Every structure is written in structure tokens, then in C-alpha cells.
Structure 1
């Protein structure tokens, strides 16, 4: 593949980089602009979002006809990495999870009426959304076939009963994509539904406390007890829930990696800056071979991650599914983020462990990276399944037509 990017994409990346430096990093540095859950508070967020929209930096992942920039997955790889130089970057540009993945799946699979009703308000930044799939044991987690939440047809509606948990953003969401079982068919047993926060028959029973900083709306446990969803709110069609999850989760996993690369680079930036200034026993940290090895290794691992992400993005942009490529990127970049934060804290010493930098924020956040959207072990199983199916073809380069 050609690793060069177009002048237009380079210009967009540079504009985002300038915006992050000039507008977002100063807000990040002001702890009074943070909310109680270590995220950006609503007032400064809305002010920054208005500026981003005014500068034409809004929703790069969505097509122009639906209100975005339509830059494709390769373009997203370039710009998302740049956005997440700040811990608050992606949400400012309306490119943060879970809205990011929900917008992409609604654009890809929603009817025209569904896109107008459920997608457009998210794109405009008027509402937030959530994807309600994961369930407490013995329900569905990484294996959606274990799903126990049911949707029973009753006239022109479906009645939903069940429990979900760790639903990201649910506490602040108005629009929900809900996965439920409509039959016992192993391939066609799940269905995706759209519902609104104000619909009766469901409730958030708790916002689950977590180790790390939280997305807006937290990670919630939900009980569905008779929620009625009109048949017109089925996404795609009854029994095609697995298709919906595949359409959403593959690109969403990859966009996580894009953003995590930006955070990993920020860790290196903070570590290099401190190492250049800090002396011990008459020698700058930056001049110590041990520190140079640590930073050089991180720089190499970031570049490996970028190549994995870019290959997966290229494959998706040309019409492929990139399942094994996304799994490889997800494993590598999730572990890289944790290592980058840990190494940067070590180089910064007590300063890194304090809240004087965002390293401790990134460190707490990084631990969940190896769990969300499939644990490392699940993705290694996926890679092995492709290896078993393809044999030596697993490694074959594609031949140009």
C-alpha cells in the first residue's frame, strides 16, 4: 500500500493539531474544567465543540450528506491519532466512543427515516447514545450467542425483558441501540432495536464504579422490564443482529486503537520533556542509555501499532472486513498504551504518579483497553481461527488486479 496521505488530509490533520494545541490542551490543564468523573465538564465541552464546528472540524467519520467530513478509515486513522494528543480531544470533535461507533452503524444500516430520527441528532451533537449489548453472567459478553435479554413480538411491537451492564455512556444517552434475542437460531437469533431514553419499561439501576476515568454517562447496569419497541425501530431486520454487531464493533475497535495511539504518543511526549530537564548525579535523564532504550522502544512500538491500524483501515476502505487485522491492532495497541503510560510514569518518578500530569489518568484508562470490545485472549483466538482456516495464506500479500 501507499503510505503517503493526500494534501487535503494532511491539511486537515494540521488544522486539528493546531486546534488541540491552542484550545483543548489549555482546558485540559485547568482542573476546574473537569467534571466529577475525570472528564471534561459540559460547559467547557460545549464551548470547544462550537469552535470545532465553526472551524469545519466536526464529525470527520460521517459522510458529508449526513453532516460530516467523510474522510474514510485511513483519514480517521490519521486524524483520530492527532485528536487524542489530549485526553479530551475526541469528544470535542464528536469522534468519541460510543457515539462514534453508533453513528457509523446507523449510517451504514439505518433506513432513511431511521437516519433522520436516530442518527442526525447525534451528528449534530444534540444527544448522546449508547450501545446496549453486554450482559452480566451467564449472559452474553464477548460471545453474543449467550445473550439472555429477549424481545417478544406482540402485534406491531416487541416487548423487551432482560438485564445489561457496563453500558458505556448510558447515564447521559438519549438514543440507544439494543441487542436482544428474538429466537434460538444460532445465526439469526439476535435482533438490534432502537429506543429512546424516555420510553417506559426500562431503568438504569446503577452507575457502576470503575477504576479509571469515565466517558460521559459512565458505565451502567440496565434492567428492561416490559419496554415496548415498535417494529419500525428494528435496525436492519429481525434476526440480523449479528450483522449489526459485526458492522459496528469491527470499525469501533479500530477507532479505539487510533485514539489510543494518540495517547501513547502523549505519554512519550511528557516523558521526553521531563527527561530533557531533569538531572540526577550530574547527568540528564535524557542522556542516560537506560532512558534512551525505554523511549526508543516505545517509539518503535507506536510505529508498529500505526502500521497495523493503517493496514486494517486500508482493508476496510477497499471493502474488506479486516477481522484479523483489527484483532492484531487491538491487541498490540491496547498493550502499548498501558506500557507507554507505565514507562512515562517511571521516567517522571513521583511526578508521574501525581495528578501534576495526565499520566496517571492515562494509566488508569489504559487498563480497560485490554478488555473493552473483546479481551486480548478473545482476539488471539480470532487470529488463530483465521490461521487455521487460511494456513500459509494467512501471511500472503494481496496481488493487485
Structure 2
């Protein structure tokens, strides 16, 4: 048995170039609040300028195959790059690997037809448009349980007519391309083949954004919106995979997307640690630097430990995905731990910075507000604990088998 965490030279070079680009190009832009938009994200003008630099540097769309215009990194390679990218809160958007576009591009590259990729994926890879994944519904509709999805798509010849309501749809206000999950089998007892995935464009009639839902923030570009469908017509050629394959599309997308969240969150957690360490290194109180106090050292050491555990869990899940496993329990373990660790890192960093950390003089309050959603998005923590409990009930001691 051989275990080797050494990065191959090509991936180490990408890691280093990503880190250097964030340090030299993105962090100075982030530090100037005039480059922020009203929703605490990077404004479009500086984003376009940085994206052009990233493209020139060869740091663009790491999740997309090279033949389709990306870097073609495996999931393990993305784990390395995304962690470095999100040492800036603007990093993923600059490298075109931010949610939800990241997951949408990944699933389109994997399951869309060549014609669909030319129409729906290529503009995303080029950075010309943004996208959104339309699944979650208000009660009594589907959330973590896709079996409850009520938005319907009824076929009439070569057209599907969509009726229903969705909410907390990330990026919807700024998106041009949408992936929609709707019920195509009205049988309430059917729980596996009842959903189908569709592609539609912002300019098609028959749907509207009811509101951009106000949240704690900060927000991804396009916010989190409530949508209403009242007869949206989607040609059958814009169906993604087969009729009844909607749950499969969702699983293909969300498995990797949940893990890429973890990759980015680890970068944010490390950024919070860096902000905390730099402050306690120079701040003195009662005749001693904060960094020399045992209580401070214990706090930082605990966060550092949890970040490293999160990195190992994330890389293990990435390795399993690269080997063709669904890696459901591996992804759930990473999602649970890293979400908690991000919140811990932000909280500790604010505590050690005192009032400065609570203010907008640092990025820590941004990270803290962002961190709270981590235990909710792409499956609440309780859902992932149930996944692990179910896996253990099936597998017993085999739950801890080495390998995927």
C-alpha cells in the first residue's frame, strides 16, 4: 500500500501560479471597497479586467475539459487550485469556478450533447453569461428531498410546458442560462424516475422572478431568488439526458459541487487564520504580544488542526470521485466537517481581532456572514449526518474500509 500526498510537478506549478496571481492581482482589488458591488461581491468592471488577466495566465475554468476550453483538472487537481483561489473572496469568480456556474459547467461537460454544449456550455466557458440551477422549492415542495418536487413539466408533442414555483435559486437574477429540475411523472409513489432536467434561456416567456430574497449575505452574483413558472415552453431538444433522468442529473451535479464548496471554504478558512495570525503577531496587551498567550495559541492550533482534517477529508473524497466512485459518504463527511470549520475559523479570527474583526476594516465579517450558509447549502448538515448513519447501518465495520 502506498500513500503519497506529494503533488505532481504540473499541479504544484498550477497551485503556485494560482497563489501568486491571487496575491499580486486579486487581493489588491479586494482591498479597495470601490471595487465591490452593492451585494458585497466584486463589481463587473474589475471582474472583467481580472478575468482577462486570469485567462491570459492560463488559470481559467479548471473544471472544464481542455477540449471545451478549460484546464481539464481532475477533481483532486481542483481541490488544490480552488483552495488557493479562495484565499480571496473574489478568487473563484475571477477564475470562473464560482458556484453555481462551476457545478453547471461540470454537469454540462459530462452529460450534455455536443449541440447542447455548443449552445449552453460554450458561452459559460467564455465568461459571456452566467447560469443557475433551478431545483429547490418552497414548502410543501422539494428541498433536500427531491421526491417532494412539485413543479411539473407536461409534454405536448415536442414541447414541455412548465408550471410551478422555485425559491432560493442561486444566481437567478444575473443568469442567462438555466438548468431546471421538474416533475414529469405525476405518480406520487414514483421516487426515482419522476424528475427530468431541462435547459432554458432567460428571455423565454412563461416564467418570471418574483423577488430577490434578502439574506444575511454576502451573495453570489445574481442573488437568491424566488421564481414562478406559468406555462414556460421548453423544446424537447433542450431536455438534458433522458426523460426520468432528472434525479441522476442532480446527483451527478451535486456530488462534485458539494465537494468544490469544501475546497473553496478551506481557502476562506485559511484566509481567516492568516488575518488572525498577522494581528496577534503584532498586537500587544498587558505587556505581552497576543501571539505569546497560551489561550490564543490554543485557539489557533485548534483551527489549524480542523483545517488540515478538512483538507484530508476533501482530498480523499476528490480521489474517490476521480476513481469513478459516487463517494456519497466521503463527500458528506467533508461537507459536514469543512462547513463547521469555516464557521469556527471566522469566529476565532473575529474574536482575536476584537472590535476590528467585527468591523468592516477587515474581510472577517464578510467571511463570518458567508460561513453561516455553509451548514445549509447543498444539503443541511443534518441530512449529511443521516447519509452517514445510513451508510454505517448498511456497511458496519466496512464503513471504514481503506479506498473507494
TM-score where L is the length of structure 2: 0.98
The aligned residue for residue 321 of structure 2 is 316
Matched, 1:251 2:268: no
2:18 & 2:184 partners in 1: Cα distance? 44
The answer to whether the 8 Å contact 2:320/2:403 transfers is no
Aligned 1:1-400 pairs, distance under 5 A: 1-183=3-185, 184=187, 185-398=190-403
Structure 1 residue ranges (4+ consecutive) displaced by more than 2 angstroms after TM superposition:
none
User: How far off its partner does 1:71 sit?
Assistant: 1.2
Instruction: Give CA-to-partner distance per residue, 1:274-313, whole Å, 9 cap, x none.
Output: 0001000000000000000000111110000000000000
SS in structure 2 of the partner of residue 224 of structure 1: strand
* Equivalent residue pairs, number: 399
1:89 & 1:218 partners in 2: Cα distance? 18
1:42 & 1:178 partners in 2: Cα distance? 26
User: How far off its partner does 1:395 sit?
Assistant: 0.8
SS in structure 2 of the partner of residue 227 of structure 1: strand
2:324 & 2:401 partners in 1: Cα distance? 18
SS in structure 2 of the partner of residue 178 of structure 1: strand
TM-score where L is the length of structure 1: 0.99
SS in structure 2 of the partner of residue 362 of structure 1: helix
Instruction: Give CA-to-partner distance per residue, 1:236-259, whole Å, 9 cap, x none.
Output: 111000100000001000000000
Instruction: Give CA-to-partner distance per residue, 1:305-333, whole Å, 9 cap, x none.
Output: 00000000000001111100000000000
The two structures, once aligned, show a CA RMSD in angstroms of: 0.7
User: How far off its partner does 1:123 sit?
Assistant: 0.6
1:199 & 1:171 partners in 2: Cα distance? 14
Unaligned runs of 5+ in 1: none
User: How far off its partner does 1:398 sit?
Assistant: 3.2
